[in-house]
């Protein structure tokens, strides 16, 4: 089995598993103190099996993916700023205090960049990353260093799903978001899955990153994130 087909098989298997056992869910704990200001401190995307790729990994595909990640960060921060004050990542992502709390990216995750500096990861444990989980100590230090009441962690998976009625491929994004307060407590953890609005192609055909296809993953992310922010607003407001 070729590398691309192997990756595609893994992607479809994971989507099938997610479709069978993962539903929209929310776990919340009212914060002990009001949360007036937050910072998006972690944003990571898994591209299952390299499904979203270029023809031979060309530079244009990499450029499209990187640009899309940056646009997703901007959308996330702008959406959050609609109901809570936010310290934007562009102001701290290159700081020593922030970067020293991170670990080396050994999980082959896609990390967006701000001012040329990638977001950092705070755990080498894949389960922690998938669950958007921080250690209480790291959450406390981040809040103190960035002078915010809470920090936000975003994890997303890009995959492909097959339509049940119309046998065609669609982009799928699974999004997990958590919020950790200055005491190091998780006060909001939610996940949602959504598909893009368009069709990627016929069953089992290659999915190559271009202006259209990459937009399907970002639109799937936006649809999931928009649902989550409604829940987050209700939880975090005093």
pLDDT tens by residue, 178-208: 999 999 999 999 999 998 888 887 777 777 7
Domain ranges in the chain?
3-236
Count of alpha carbons within 13 Å of 43, Cβ hemisphere only? 27
User: Given pLDDT bands bounded at 50, 70 and 90, which one contains residue 139?
Assistant: very high
- CATH number for the region 3-236 comes to 3.40.50.10610
Cα distance between residue 71 and residue 66, in whole Å: 9
Question: Of 30, 42, 26, which is closest to residue 185 (Cα–Cα)?
Answer: 30
**Quick one: pLDDT at residue 207?**
74
- Contact predicate 153/42, CB 8 Å: yes
Listed residue (85, 128, 119) closest to 101, CA to CA: 119
List all residues 6 or more positions away from 56 whose beta carbon is below 8 Å from its beta carbon: none
What is the number of residues in the chain? Answer: 238
| pTM to 2 decimal places | 0.83
Higher pLDDT, 146 or 216: 146
Q: What is the pLDDT of residue 196?
A: 85
């Amino acid at each position: 089995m070729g590398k691309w087909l192997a990756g595609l098989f893994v992607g479809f298997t994971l989507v099938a598993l997610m479709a069978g056992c993962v539903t929209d869910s929310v776990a919340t704990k009212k914060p002990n103190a009001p949360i007036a200001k937050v910072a998006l401190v972690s944003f990571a995307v898994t591209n299952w099996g390299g499904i979203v790729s270029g023809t031979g990994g060309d530079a244009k595909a990499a450029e499209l993916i990187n640009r899309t990640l940056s646009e997703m960060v901007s959308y996330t921060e702008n959406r959050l700023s609609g109901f809570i004050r936010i310290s934007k990542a562009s102001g701290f992502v290159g700081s020593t205090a922030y970067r020293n709390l991170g670990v080396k990216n050994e999980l082959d995750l896609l990390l967006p960049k701000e001012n040329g500096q990638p977001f950092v990861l705070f755990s080498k444990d894949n389960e922690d990353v998938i669950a958007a989980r921080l250690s209480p100590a790291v959450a406390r230090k981040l809040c103190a260093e960035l002078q915010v009441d809470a920090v936000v962690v975003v994890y997303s998976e890009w995959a492909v799903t097959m339509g049940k009625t119309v046998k065609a491929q669609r982009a799928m994004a699974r999004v997990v978001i958590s919020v950790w307060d200055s005491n190091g407590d998780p006060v909001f953890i939610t996940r949602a899955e959504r598909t893009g609005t368009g069709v990627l192609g016929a069953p089992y055909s290659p999915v190559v990153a271009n202006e259209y296809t990459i937009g399907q993953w970002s639109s799937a992310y936006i649809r999931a994130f928009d649902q989550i922010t409604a829940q987050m607003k209700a939880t975090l407001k005093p």
